[in-house]
Chain A
Amino acid sequence: MSEMTLRQWLLTDTPTSRRHAKIASLYKGWLTLRGNTMAMFGLGILVALGLIALFAPLLAPYDWTTQNLGNRLQPVGSEGHLLGTDSLGRDILSRLVYGSRITLYIVALVALIAPIAGLLVGTVAGYVGGWVDLVLMRITDIFLAFPRLVLALAFVAALGAGIENAVLAISLTAWPPYARIARAETLTIRSSDYISAIRLQGAGPIRIITKHIWPLCISSLIVRVTLDMAGIILAAAGLGFLGLGAQPPSPEWGAMISEGRRFILDHWWVATMPGLAIFTVSLAFNLLGDGLRDVLDPKDGGQ
């Protein structure tokens, strides 16, 4: 390996081991992504979001709970408060920084629950077919029919308000589209020669679904998840706005918009700053999702 540069090793056409092959293919995917400026921009924002969330205590100038009623509703750019203060004199910038943690928490939870549930249901329904398919798809239809906010209200009524319940409500209504996508892909893949070939080796349905079908479905799911992220963040923000999600004084961005609603005409920054934050993160996910699609889809074709 010392004769080849690292780049050559990564771009090689003749991998020498399983690990080498995997790393090489990941690197090539990375290069494709890197070629897409918009996607890199999105990725950059998301990385920044992650770092901000991680180092929140170091980055925020104030603690997000510190009230200062003498300093309420200070405009953007006022002394000591870059983005102004809200109705209780709390620093908006600090609240945004701490709020990023909550946003990431919501995003991570939903991204883990919804697509995985959808993948399971969709691939099993698609591969097994018959009445299993029928039953699973009707269950999917039922969940698809639930309006997200109504379900959230029901949860709040039953279990009390809070961010976890909001996430649960969102996940329960977010998984059906993934099930549909996974099922559609499975139906296409199921009739391929490579699936016939592995059946001819005596593979059972579990092996086929997990080792052969899932790897192919995962790319479209990943793309779909990143593109849905925007909607999920907005849904969480919406729930927060309605008071069903994060409870005050939590610095969740949606709740911040709700609090700032009353002052929007004279003190626009209280609602607008968190709104811009949501917009930026949603846009970043969209851009990244588009870029990921270009990376993940072409390999699917095989040619």
Chain B
Amino acid sequence: MLEIAELNVWFGQGRDRVDAVKSASFAVGQGESFGLVGESGSGKSTILRAITGLAPDWSGRITVDGTDLGRRRDRAFYKTVQMVFQDPYASLHPRHSVDQVLSETLHLHGLGEIDRRVAKLLDDVGLGTRFRFRYPHQLSGGQRQRGAIARALAGEPRLLLLDEPTSALDVSVQAEILNLLTDLRAERGRTYLMVSHDLPVVGHMCERLAVMKNGEIVEVMEVAALRRMEASHPYAQSLLEASVAG
């Protein structure tokens, strides 16, 4: 479904150039759930941005569903790949109600029967009609994140990019959202690429993962190895130990 080969992403030019991602390579199969872990500044979120076209300066190869990506993304791409952002407080427009957000998204994807689809999307993510016309400041963090997930699902994408979707949420809300994401993947066989700094979350949600440090992928491993605390690369091992201390 997704293939990254020798991906380099940088910001700035010349002397101010910062290489956020260096020679990253990995592949995610159809219907698989793949995790990208690392600390802040490791480049994991930048890979997501490069895939979606939000980070303009990159080189290497990104292949989604068999098609190599260029600089621009087209409508077909947006129907295949969508993203859920980290901060629920920043990912919804403060002046648009949930209904407006979903309607606009459906409209942009060229889908009809907007009213019915909005109701169904809200239902799919566990937000009742009570929340449909609320503004973001009238919603809790978990509710906003559900709204963001509904928006991402509107175009029925097959690949969902998740950028730390629960790190800003309370523990109990995180459990609900993770369960929701698990259910949504099972329904349609969607592919997930999930970025997180939280290893237990990745262990719960993913089947394979890549560990990043300073823009490079240091190891790609199975979650089973993660659970056994057996990493090959020393950095990955130290990360494992730090996360599960106690």
Contacts and interface: CB of A to CB of B under 8 A. Distances in A.
Is A–B contact present in the complex under a CB 8 A cutoff? yes
A197 B85 contact: yes
B54 interface: yes
A196 B135 contact: no
Contacts of B100: 18
Interface in B111-147: 130-131, 133-138
Interface stretch (B35-43, B75-83, B176-184): B75-83
A197 B109 CA distance: 13
Nearest to A194: B93
B155 A201 contact: yes
A200 B135 contact: no
A129 B130 CA distance: 40
Contact of A193 (B85, B95, B105, B137): B85
B90 A202 contact: no
A215 B75 contact: no
Interface stretch (A9-17, A62-70, A267-275): A9-17
A214 to B, nearest CB: 10
B84 to A, nearest CB: 9
Interface stretch (A45-53, A79-87, A258-266, A295-303): A295-303
A203 B85 contact: no
Contacts of B75: 202
B92 interface: yes
A16 B99 CA distance: 11
A15 B104 CA distance: 19
Nearest to A213: B93
A5 interface: no
A202 B104 contact: no
A157 to B, nearest CB: 45
B191 to A, nearest CB: 17
Contact of B90 (A20, A193, A198, A201): A193
A18 B133 contact: yes
A18 B99 contact: yes
Interface string A196-211: 1111111100000001
A21 to B, nearest CB: 4
A156 interface: no
Given A14-B130, A193-B87, A201-B78, A211 B104 contact: yes
A216 interface: yes
Contact of B133 (A16, A203, A216): A16
B175 interface: no
B131 A197 contact: no
Contacts of B97: 15, 18, 21
A192 B86 CA distance: 11
Given A196-B54, A201-B78, A216-B94, A21 B133 contact: yes
B64 to A, nearest CB: 13
B27 interface: no
B94 A202 contact: no
B5 interface: no
Contacts of A203: 104, 108
Nearest to A212: B93
A201 B54 contact: no
A285 to B, nearest CB: 25
A15 B99 CA distance: 11
A25 B133 contact: no
Contacts of A303: 89, 137
Contacts of B104: 198, 201, 203, 211
Which residue among A15, A199, A299, A302 has the maximum number of chain B CB atoms within 10 Å of its CB?
A302
Given A197-B148, A200-B83, A15 B133 contact: yes
B91 interface: yes
A212 B92 CA distance: 11
Given A18-B100, A18-B133, A201-B109, A193 B78 contact: no
B94 A300 contact: yes
Contact of B109 (A15, A194, A196, A202): A202
A198 B92 CA distance: 10
Contact of B137 (A14, A202, A215, A299): A299
B44 interface: no
A204 B138 CA distance: 28
7 contacts: A21-B133, A197-B151, A198-B105, A201-B151, A202-B75, A202-B78, A216-B95
Interface of B: 52, 54, 75, 78, 82-83, 85-87, 89-97, 99-100, 104-105, 108-109, 130-131, 133-138, 148, 151, 154-155
Closest 8 CB pairs between A and B?
Answer: A15-B133, A21-B133, A193-B91, A193-B85, A215-B95, A194-B93, A14-B130, A201-B108
